[in-house]
Structure 1
Amino acid sequence: MTTFDERTIVHAFRDDALGEHDAVGLAAAIRRGEVSPAEAARAAQERVRAIDARLGAVQAHVDNPAPAAATDGAFAGVPAFVKDNTDYQGLPTGHGSAAFRPRAARRHAPFTQQLLSSGVTVLGKTRLPEFGFNASTEYDGAEPVRNPWNTGYSAGGSSGGSAALVAAGAVPIAHANDGGGSIRIPAACCGLVGLKPSRGRVVGSDLGRRLPIDIVSDGIVSRSVRDTAAFLAAAETHRRSPALPPVGLVEGPSERRLRIGFLLDSPNGVHSDAATRAAVTETVATLERLGHTVEPVELDMDPNFTDDFLTYWGLLSFLLGVSGRTLGADFDRRRMDGLSRGLREDYLRKWRRTPGVLRRLKRAKEAHAAAFRRLDLVLSPVLAHTTPPIGHLSPTVPYTQLIERLLAYVAFTPLDNIVGTPSLSLPSASATTQGLPIGVMFSARPGDERKLLETAFELEADRPFRRIQDQ
């Protein structure tokens, strides 16, 4: 495996058609005629070529990328990537797995159509860990995706490829999805904005509709709050959920002051490390200075929640092993990586518990709702400790040890997936001694993305996010 200087910073920002624009800014320049969609796509392709040998973020390229038909979309002409667990017509969907040879997709997935309705130019597919199970985009027998802020460290997972490209400035936004933290985790690791929308806010996947609890939400990772807000508004223009209040285009902070609860340690008993706690407490101080009421809160989580969520992930791995031939005729579950196999085997020992697991997980929304009876938002860490080095969460680590490490790391994000509530990862003002970003997380009631975005706009204006090109 290639060795890199652990303090290497990799970014692609330069004086070209993309400049330092975010997606909203680039789309505006394209509308004004200052940049053409073709020029933006070529600049992004050149940036990707310049950095991807060091980051390993791209799975596949579109041979001749063309702007989407939606020339009046919010992101018309903006280059972007689709995560490689979502179909893009003509490209194979590999799910990060070596267990099969993927076929070229015959049509776009429903979410791909929703993303294209914003006008983006898709340049290719980004890498993810096998089936999105891991919190780091690493492999058994292949190079990992590396963090552009420090290439000796993880870019997070499962949307690690997307996060690495956006953080490094190759493209302004990229598709991500989240079934247990997979938007918010890489956003936190790479210093990005990552919103997991409410269940049903964007179009669902065919797989999600078949699951007993649909835990996956699609979205993007971005470098600015306004890009995430513009994406959500564009997604609503394509298809608005009749079950949720509309969000509309959020363009800045609100004047109303909120009651915000905060916690430093996970409700399931996992303690956060000192740097992570400091990032949260600094955010608390900022919110109080801005006039919000902030107070400690306790979430009354079922003590079985962690084991139940792990069992549910095992169920997903089991179902993939059973239905894998739909992905490729040569699918062989014995070629799944150590984490996927371990989850499946663990589930086979516990499968009789499935009805109780599902019953308890579905009840989690009651405890979550109780916490919000007197609160507008809850602030917490995204992860229990700072971004680990490459190898710490590798699927080659023995399964029992790897699960212990994952549970000590991913202790805050899964609850919102089970409950279906919106949750936002935001870069804090802090950084690790290795120069890596530290994220903080805000969660809200179902359908209340507006409060999350308004608060994020206010924090971004008060303390602009660190920029990799300034380091």
Structure 2
Amino acid sequence: MKDLASLARLDGIAQAELCARGEVSAEELFEACLARIDALNPLLRAVVTVNREPPRAVKPGPFSGVPFLVKDATPWQGLRWSMGSRLFAKNVAPTQTPYGRRLEAAGLVCVGKSALSEFGLLGSTETLLEGVTHNPWDLSRSATGSSGGSAVAVAAGLVPLAHANDGGGSTRIPASACGLFGFKPSRERTVMASFATSDFGDLTSDHCISRSVRDSALFLSVTEDPTAAKPVGFVREPIRRKLRIATWTRTMMGEEPEPSVRRAYDETVALLTELGHHVEPIAPPAVDGPALRDAFFLVAGAAIAGVVETMDRMRGVPVQTEELEPFTWELVEKVQAFGADALPWSRATFAKAVKVYDEATRAYDVVLTPTLATEPWRIGHLSPVLKREELLRRTARSVGYTPIQNIVGCPAMSVPLCFPEGGLPIGMHFAAARGEEALLLGLAYQLEEARPWKDRWAPYSIPALFS
């Protein structure tokens, strides 16, 4: 069996190839993964449930034998499904989702569940149920969220890739903070990953966080809905044509990025120009940022209010104050105070924003912005025990580029192009029109080739500590 660091350095496809050649077995990949989790997870707290049941009949798919994690927002048959909430601390998923069946058929082996903020509501992975997930680049910094556990596990070399989902940047933002590739497919591109639907669920796309573009591209090909328009398949090559790229730096809330982020952005513009693309600064789409923020959290609050009502009926006992975090309760109370017009108003607000965004970007192949307006914040900055208004204000300062793509339903990605000396990674954000995943992945391959990041390991990672 390969040593811990050697296997940790390999992406999912490389591990599957080792397994296919008989150089390592699925059981050995699984045991090595558990050893890596045992070595670093007590420090990082990325994994909240560990599946120690060895794989029995691994399917002979393209990822055959490869260990991975499922974000605890999403059910996986037989494993605890807490959604980061004390309300569901002992909940176990009874059945597999269509998405899960696709991943099993691809040969992936689930070694556990990764941490998230409660119900994926906040951009920092610290909960009253599970505690704090630490960024392996700097333990005092947040892994961001909500897919912080998945990002940390990949950045630390615990697994080569991890499932994530994204309702407003929850895949792309942690990928940026941890120096990884984070991709969000178009709405309805993949098969169903949940049992229920809601307006908040309609904003959410399931995919993965990975070290390599090819892992992400293959993952998309095995989860793609065959009935979706313009099938993507497995994108394997860099894009060959020159792109027209629109770009801006001001967030939806009217904020400009911190100087370190601006420097990283300028370097990215220079790289794209060097690669032959036409990069054109334009005015940001004139969306109503405060209204979009309010609509987004009303939709989230409505989804949680529905969960509370369902639990009240099922148990015959109301959900108790201590079963949900303070921020979650405030979202529920806000949507209840708004009344019956909350969802209709939010949908109308979203529709206006979609029209404005489409009109501003339709002449371009790709849109470029930073992923975050700030560097990753310190732990506690977005603690769920803080007041709602303060949390929304702090979130709005940093998270002002990514939610619009969820509202529009188009694909987007954070690419780890910038690793400032002595600082944390800074991702750059790219988006395309709905259905244009192949274009974005082709660009990602090209950027990966031009500025390789596969050997950029965090200080608190298996390769950095055990080589």
TM-score surpassing 0.5? yes
- The AA in structure 1 aligned to 2:192 is G
Residue 457 of structure 2 is matched in structure 1 by 467
1:9 corresponds to which residue?
A: none
1:240-280 deviation line (CA, Å, top 9, x unaligned): 2x232111211121210000011111133122211112211
301, 317, 330: which one pairs with 2:287? 301
Alignment of 1:259-278 (within 5 A): 259-278=244-263
Change (3 A) 1:265 1:345: same
Letter in 2 for 1:467: W
What's 1:4 paired with? Answer: none
Matched-pair contact (CA < 8 Å) for 2:243–2:277: yes
Matching residue of 2:299: 312
Give distance in 2, aligned partners of 1:329 and 1:199.
36
Name 1:48's counterpart in structure 2.
37
**Structure 1: runs of 5 or more not aligned:** 1-12
Q: How many Å separate the matches in 1 of 2:314 and 2:104? A: 24
8 Å contact 2:200–2:300 — kept in the other structure?
no
Counterpart in the other structure of 1:202 = 190
Say whether residues 1:166 and 2:146 are aligned partners: no
Instruction: Go from structure 1 to structure 2 and tell me whether the alpha carbon gap of 1:211 and 1:401 turns closer, same or farther (over 3 Å shift).
Output: closer
The whole-number CA distance in structure 1 between the counterparts of 2:152 and 2:112 is 14
For the Cα contact (< 8 Å) 1:67–1:119, is it kept in 2?
A: no
Match of 1:351 in 2: 339
Secondary structure, in 3 states, of the residue corresponding to 1:280?
helix
> How big is each residue's C-alpha offset from its partner over 1:88-113, in whole Å with a ceiling of 9 and x where there is no partner?
11112101001244332211122212
Cα 1:144–1:212 shift into 2, 3 Å: closer
Between 1:258-267 and 1:361-370, the stretch displaced more is 361-370
* Structure 1 CA distance for aligned equivalents of residues 288 and 119 of structure 2: 27
Aligned to 2:271: 286
Is 2:26 the partner of 1:37?
yes
1:413 aligned residue (402, 407, 411)? 402
SS at match of 1:152: strand
| Secondary structure, aligned partner of 1:156 | coil
- What is the distance in 2 between the residues matched to 1:189 and 1:315? 29
| Residue range with higher mean Cα deviation, 269-278 or 349-358 | 349-358
Pick aligned residue for 1:152 from 133, 137, 140:
140
Q: Which amino acid aligns with 2:304?
A: S
Give the corresponding residue for 1:224.
Answer: 212
Change over 3 Å in CA distance of 1:380–1:33 after alignment to 2: same
SS at match of 1:425: strand
Secondary structure at the counterpart of residue 339 of structure 2: helix
Q: Is the 8 A contact 1:172 1:222 kept in 2?
A: yes
For the residues of structure 2 that align with 1:185 and 1:212, how far apart are their CA atoms?
18
The aligned amino acid for 2:305 is F
How much has 1:70 moved relative to structure 2?
Answer: 2.4
Cα distance per residue 1:345-368 (max 9 Å; x no partner): 222222344222211213322222
Distance 1:276 1:54 in 2: 28
Following the alignment from structure 1 to structure 2, what is the Cα–Cα distance between the partners of residues 301 and 326?
39
Whether the 8 Å contact between 1:156 and 1:185 is mirrored in structure 2 is yes
1:61-95 deviations in whole A, cap 9, x for unaligned?
21313166421x12110001111121111112101
TM-score by length of structure 2 reads: 0.92
Distance 2:314 2:192 in 1: 19
Which residue matches 1:380? 369
Offset, 1:371: 2.6
Residue 169 (structure 1) shift? 0.3
Identify the residue that residue 256 of structure 1 maps to in structure 2.
Answer: 241
Shift of the alpha carbon at 1:432? 6.8
8 Å CA contact 1:67–1:122 kept in 2: the answer is no
Shift of 1:330: 6.9
Scaled by the length of structure 1, the TM-score of the pair is 0.91
Per-residue Cα deviation, 1:119-153 (whole angstroms, up to 9, x for no partner):
11111111111111010101236520111111111
Instruction: Tell me the alpha carbon deviations over residues 160-185 of structure 1, each in whole angstroms, 9 at most, x when there is no partner.
Output: 11111110001101111111111111
The answer for the alignment partner of 2:444 in structure 1 is 456
> What is the percentage of aligned positions where both structures have the same residue?
38
Residue pairs, 1:415-434, within 5 angstroms: 415-431=404-420, 433=422
Give the 3-state SS of the residue equivalent to 1:380 in structure 2: strand
**Larger deviation, residues 108-117 vs 322-331:** 322-331
Q: Is the deviation greater in 325-334 or in 407-416?
A: 325-334
1:328–1:87 distance in 2 versus 1, CA, 3 Å: farther
Secondary structure of 1:453's counterpart equals helix
Q: CA deviation at 1:302?
A: 3.3
Given that 1:92 and 1:104 are in contact with CA atoms closer than 8 Å, whether structure 2 keeps it comes out as: yes
Consecutive unaligned residues in structure 2, runs of 5 or more: none
Structural RMSD (CA): 2.2
For residue 182 of structure 1, give the secondary structure of its aligned residue in structure 2.
coil
Q: Secondary structure, in 3 states, of the residue corresponding to 1:261? A: strand
CA distance in 1, matches of 2:8, 2:72: 27
User: 2:378 matched to which residue of 1?
Assistant: 389
Q: Is the 8 A contact 2:116 2:148 kept in 1?
A: yes
Contact 1:68 1:117 in 2 (8 A): no
| Structure 1 residue 328 displacement after superposition | 7.3
Provide, for residues 192-216 of structure 1, a one-character-per-residue CA deviation record: whole Å limited to 9, x for no partner.
1111110011112456634387111
Question: After superposition, where does 1:17-32 map in structure 2 within 5 Å?
Answer: 18-32=7-21
Q: Does the CA contact (< 8 Å) of 2:167 and 2:201 recur in 1?
A: no
CA distance in 2 between counterparts of 1:331 and 1:130 reads 19
Distance in 2 between residues matched to 1:277 and 1:271, nearest whole Å? 8
- The separation in 2 between residues aligned to 1:14 and 1:266, in whole angstroms, is 45
**Do the aligned residues in 2 keep the contact of 1:188 with 1:425 (CA within 8 Å)?**
yes
Q: 1:148 to 1:359 in 2, by over 3 A?
A: same
- One-letter amino acid of the structure 2 residue matched with residue 27 of structure 1: A
One-letter amino acid of the counterpart of residue 130, structure 1: E
Cα offset, 1:39, TM superposition: 0.6
In structure 2, the residue matched to 1:323 is: 310
